[in-house]
């Protein structure tokens, strides 16, 4: 990172401290008494990246429960309570196959290195998909559940990389949480706050919340991570409860993972993360919508 950008990030982060704050994700009152000693940005980053580096294989579970609340384009609410399988391979390959109990699959949420998608058969009968490279562009529409953000919301891919187009991190800290900030440089000049990571200030320094912001500074996604357990003996600490809210789209998504196991790369089906083609979708899917078609 260039030195002048570091000063820019630090200055903007300081000026945004009142706007952003760092409330505990679960709403708890911060404890009375002296706070833990401050940690450096380098130490905070190193701890998160060290845990992410332990994820050297895919994660698999067939014991996942998901609740979701979606609002369609006609402002009609749809609520789901589903069982799911879960497959994740860092940094952003994700697949959730969701069904009601022992019934047929009614929803799939997925992401691979280039694309993301969600299809919902009951009531909606649609599939939405887009390309990661268009995320955040004015030409790209949004959907109630954002598979492109879910992979980040899991907290398993570490922190943003240089290729993500973000500048940072800068740090603001309170009694309970350190907050890492990332900014996005605008084409016409200037910088906008785009992402925040709330990290506990006590060992083992868990990542507890991730927030995305839009071009007006509003929170567009909040993810809250809880019930951390090792994925396997000696493996990374992984949240087994993930609660995600998209306030602008009025979407909510909560996932409870009962147990996880690691899966070696050679055991993962080579097509597990392929975006479904029209002929592979259930018969009830009547429309396929590319949300960023105007960006192509």
Identify whether the C-beta of residue 147 lies closer than 8 Å to the C-beta of residue 131.
no
Three-class SS of residue 115? strand
Q: Confidence class of residue 2 from pLDDT cuts 50, 70 and 90?
A: very low
Domain ranges in the chain?
56-165+220-296
Instruction: Give 215-221's long-range contacts (Cβ < 8 A, gap of 24+).
Output: 217/19, 217/192, 217/193, 218/247, 218/248, 219/247, 220/246, 220/247, 220/248, 221/146, 221/149, 221/153, 221/245, 221/246
pLDDT score of 248: 85
Residue 102 CB: number of other CB atoms within 10 A?
6
For the chain, give the percent of residues with pLDDT over 70: 89
Which of the following CATH numbers is that of domain 56-165+220-296: 2.40.50, 2.60.40, 2.50.20, 1.10.3470? Answer: 2.50.20
φ/ψ of residue 21, rounded to 5: 60, -175
pLDDT score of 73: 81
CA dist., res. 292 & res. 135, Å (int): 8
Q: Confidence class of residue 5 from pLDDT cuts 50, 70 and 90?
A: very low
- Evaluate if residue 243 carries a pLDDT over 80: yes
């Amino acid at each position: 990172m260039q030195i002048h950008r570091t000063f820019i990030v630090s200055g903007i982060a300081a000026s945004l401290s009142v706007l952003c704050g760092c409330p505990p994700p679960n709403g708890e009152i911060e404890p009375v008494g002296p706070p833990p000693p401050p940690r450096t940005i380098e130490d905070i980053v190193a701890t998160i990246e060290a845990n992410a580096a332990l994820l050297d294989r895919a994660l698999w579970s067939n014991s996942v429960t998901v609740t979701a609340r979606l609002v369609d384009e006609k402002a009609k609410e749809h609520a789901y309570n589903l069982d799911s399988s879960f497959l994740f391979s860092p940094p952003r390959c994700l697949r959730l196959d969701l069904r009601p109990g022992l019934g047929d699959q009614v929803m799939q949420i997925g992401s691979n290195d280039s694309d993301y998608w969600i299809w919902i058969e009951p009531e909606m009968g649609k599939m939405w998909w887009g390309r990661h490279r268009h995320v955040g562009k004015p030409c790209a529409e949004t959907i109630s559940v954002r598979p492109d953000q879910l992979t980040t919301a899991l907290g398993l891919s570490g922190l943003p990389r240089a290729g993500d187009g973000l500048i940072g991190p800068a740090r603001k800290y309170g009694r309970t949480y350190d907050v890492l900030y990332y900014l996005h440089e605008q084409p016409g000049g200037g910088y906008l706050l785009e992402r925040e990571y709330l990290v506990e200030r006590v060992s083992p320094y868990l990542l507890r919340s991730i927030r995305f912001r839009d071009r007006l500074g509003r929170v567009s996604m909040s993810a809250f991570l809880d019930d951390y357990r090792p994925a396997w003996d000696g493996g990374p600490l992984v949240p087994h409860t993930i609660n995600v809210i998209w306030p602008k789209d009025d979407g909510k998504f909560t996932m409870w993972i009962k147990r996880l196991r690691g899966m070696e790369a050679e055991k993962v089906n080579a097509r597990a993360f392929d975006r479904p083609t029209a002929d592979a979708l259930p018969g009830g899917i009547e429309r396929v919508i590319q949300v960023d078609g105007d960006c192509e």
